[in-house]
A and B are shown apart, each in its own frame.
Chain A
Amino acid sequence: MTFTDEMFKFLNIKGYDDLFSDIPESVKKPLKGIGRGKSEMEITLESEAVGSLNRWDFTILLGLGAYERYIPAAVNNVIMRNEFITAYTPYQAEISQGMLQALFEYQSLICDLTGMEVTNSSMYDGPSSLAEAVRMAYRINGKRDVLIPENIYRNHLEVLRTYTTGVPVNLIFYGVANDGTINIEKLKEMITEDTCAIVTYNPSTFGIIDHGVNAIREIKGDALHIAYYDPVSLALISSPGEYDADISVSEGQQLGIPLNFGGPYLGLFSFKEKYVRKSPGRLIGETVDVNGKRAYVMTLQTREQHIRRDKAMSNICTNQALMALASSVYLSVLGNTGLEYVATKTMENSRKLASVIDSVHGFRTRKTSSMYFSDIIVDVDASPEALFSYLQKNGILGGYPAASALAGPSSGIGRSVFFAATEITRNDTLEKLKKVMEVF
Chain B
Amino acid sequence: MGYHQATYDERLLSEIGSGNTYSVEKTNRPEIPDGIRRKKLSLPDVAEYDVIRHYVHLSQMNYSVDTGFYPLGSCTMKYNPKFADRMAGDQRFSRMHPLTAPEYAQGELQVMYELQEFLRASSGMDAVTLQPLAGAQGEYTSMLIVRKYMESIGESRRNEIIIPDSAHGTNPASAAMAGFSTVEIPSKQDGKVDLDALRDAISDRTAAFMITNPSTLGVFESNILEIEKIVHGAGALLYYDGANFNAILGVTAPGLMGFDMVHFNLHKTFATPHGGGGPGAGPVAVKEKLREFLPLPVVVKEGKKYSLYYGYRNSIGRVGGFNGSFINLLRAWAYMKFKGDDGLTENTRKAVLNANYIGRKLEGILDIPTKGLKKHEVVASTRNTGKKALDVAKYIINSGVHAPTIYFPLIVPEALMIEPTEDASIEDMDNFVRLVEEAIKIPDEELHRMPVNLSIGRADEVRAARAMKLHW
Contact = CB atoms under 8 A, between A and B. Distances in A.
A98 B371 CA distance: 39
A440 interface: no
Interface stretch (B334-342, B377-385, B439-447): B334-342
A209 B36 CA distance: 8
A79 to B, nearest CB: 8
Given A34-B118, A312-B169, A315-B140, A29 B104 contact: no
B338 A40 contact: yes
A54 B105 contact: yes
B276 A21 contact: no
A414 interface: no
9 contacts: A35-B340, A55-B100, A87-B64, A103-B276, A156-B321, A239-B38, A259-B94, A320-B279, A333-B51
Interface in A23-81: 23-24, 26-38, 40, 43-44, 46-48, 50-58, 60, 62, 64-66, 68, 72, 74, 76-81
A410 B249 CA distance: 52
B100 A128 contact: no
Interface stretch (B194-202, B231-239, B283-291, B343-351): B343-351
Interface in B41-67: 41-46, 48, 51-52, 54-67
B36 A261 contact: no
Interface string B128-163: 000001111101100010010000000000000000
A184 B33 CA distance: 18
Given A37-B339, A90-B277, A320-B279, A166 B64 contact: no
B438 interface: no
B90 A48 contact: yes
A264 B325 contact: yes
A337 B22 contact: yes
Nearest to B10: A101
Contacts of B275: 79, 84-85, 87, 320-323, 325
Given A77-B52, A85-B80, 12 more contacts: A10-B357, A52-B92, A89-B75, A95-B62, A97-B62, A101-B61, A261-B105, A264-B327, A306-B408, A312-B176, A335-B44, A336-B41
A308 B176 CA distance: 11
Interface in B92-145: 92-101, 104-108, 110-111, 117-118, 120-122, 124, 133-137, 139-140, 144
B353 interface: yes
Contacts of A269: none
A4 to B, nearest CB: 7
B465 interface: yes
Contacts of A118: 470-471
A242 B92 CA distance: 40
A289 B227 CA distance: 48
B338 to A, nearest CB: 5
B87 to A, nearest CB: 5
B465 A95 contact: no
A44 B122 contact: no
B340 A36 contact: yes
B32 A371 contact: yes
B61 A97 contact: yes
Interface in A385-417: 388-389, 392, 397, 400, 405
A89 B281 CA distance: 15
Interface in A153-208: 155-156, 158-159, 161-163, 165-167
A113 B38 CA distance: 10
